[in-house]
Amino acid sequence: MREGVNQRFARLENFLARNKIDAALITHPPNIRYFTQFSGEEGIFLAFPPGNILFVDPRYTLRARAECPGITVKEAARPMDAVVRTLKERRCGRVGLETAHLTVDHFRQLRKTLRGVSVKSLRDQLDTLRIVKDLSEITNIEHAIEIHTRALDETLAWVAPDVTERDWAIEFEYRAKRYGASALSFETIVASGPRSAIPHATADPVPLAQRAPIVFDHGVIYNGYCSDETATFFTHSPGKAFREIYRIVREAHDRAIAAIRPGVTAASIDTVARKYIEAAGYGEAFTHSTGHGVGLEIHEKHSRKAPYWLQGYDPT
């Protein structure tokens, strides 16, 4: 794993050099974890080759030192103040800020206290360094998928007519965590009957609708990495209309997966599915993209125009 982290540092250093940046202030927790392995909710990573420093408050000092061998960890009651002092001491001429992930208050504080230092907005550019997954990341995502699949299979056997949507969601979470998930990727969606048409419905304390479709949207986190899957179930033999729509969506799904290979762009995969659904007469109902990036975040930045890699981001 350390070798993978070193490769990430190398890409980060190349990024800073290309953009003529002396230091980058990384505040987005997924990016901090990606470059340091620190899993805490708060911290600031100062990327200043070759002297990178992770600043944390006293709640996270022991965790940071255990998770981040080879990285200098500094404890500070007010990490941002400590970062400012360090930047001044090192006389950084140009500092990159993750402005897409930085609070307005911190941005103003930095502009005010770092007089004489050129500040460059990186917006969310560092997120792009996480697009292509290495083997350890793919393994973590695959393990998350195995956990959520096992939990789902078991809860399907457990579901009974008097079970509520919320009961099912709670039972799924219990089993997923029992099998190794640290958390859910997002609040599990269980929506039955007419509510199944709501893309991001909540699991309500109402009995599962009978003789109606049930949408189960779920995912878990394993070692920081997310899984995501949406499935549709029926409590009965569905009617002709439901069967036809299900067939169309499934065929579009299968065609899109069959089209994935190294060198093919994400946009072209979307086109395969979209054209099939449009030809079937449901183009106006296809209001979203085909899949999305997953990783340390449930919805990760990805490029629709970049080609797929053999070790690429995992589409859902």
- Residue 301 falls in which region: left (phi positive, over 0), alpha (psi -120 to 50) or beta: beta
Please check whether residue 189 is in contact with residue 104, taking contact to mean a CB–CB distance below 8 angstroms. no
Domain boundaries, the chain: 2-130, 135-315
Residue reference for tokens 């099998």: 179
Are the C-beta atoms of residues 24 and 16 closer than 8 Å to each other?
Answer: yes
The predicted structure's pLDDT at residue 67? 97
Provide the H-helix boundaries in 49-131. 61-67, 79-89, 104-113
Indicate the DSSP class of residue 206: S
CA atoms of 251 and 271, how far apart (whole Å): 14
3-state secondary structure of 106: helix
pLDDT at 105: 87
CATH number of 2-130: 3.40.350.10
Helices (H), 91-237: 104-113, 135-158, 165-178
Q: How far apart are alpha carbons 7 and 9 in whole angstroms?
A: 5
Question: What pLDDT score was predicted for residue 291?
Answer: 86
> What is the distance of C-alpha 223 from the center of its chain?
12
Distances in Å between the alpha carbon of 214 and those of 147, 198, 200, 201? 21, 11, 13, 11
Predicted confidence at residue 177, as pLDDT, reads: 98
Cis peptide preceding 50, ω within 30 of 0: yes
Q: For the whole model, what pTM was predicted?
A: 0.91
Place of tokens 């065609």: 255
Residue closest to 149 by CA, chosen among 231, 257, 254, 258: 231
Q: Are 16 and 49 in contact (CB under 8 A)?
A: yes
Rounded distance, CA 208 to CA 223, Å? Answer: 32
Which tens digits make up the pLDDT trace of 85-112? 999 888 888 999 999 998 888 888 888 8
**Nearest 5°: phi and psi at 243?**
-60, -40
- Topology of domain 135-315 in CATH is Creatine Amidinohydrolase (3.90.230)
What is the pLDDT tens value at each position of the chain, 316 positions in all? Answer: 566 788 999 999 999 999 999 999 999 999 999 999 999 999 999 998 878 999 999 999 999 999 999 899 999 999 999 999 999 888 888 999 999 998 888 888 888 888 888 989 999 899 999 998 999 999 999 999 999 999 999 999 999 888 999 999 999 999 999 999 999 999 999 999 999 988 889 999 999 988 889 999 999 999 999 999 999 998 888 889 989 999 999 999 999 999 998 888 888 999 999 999 999 999 999 988 888 889 999 999 876 666 544 443 333 3
Question: pLDDT for 175-188, tens place per residue?
Answer: 999 999 999 999 99
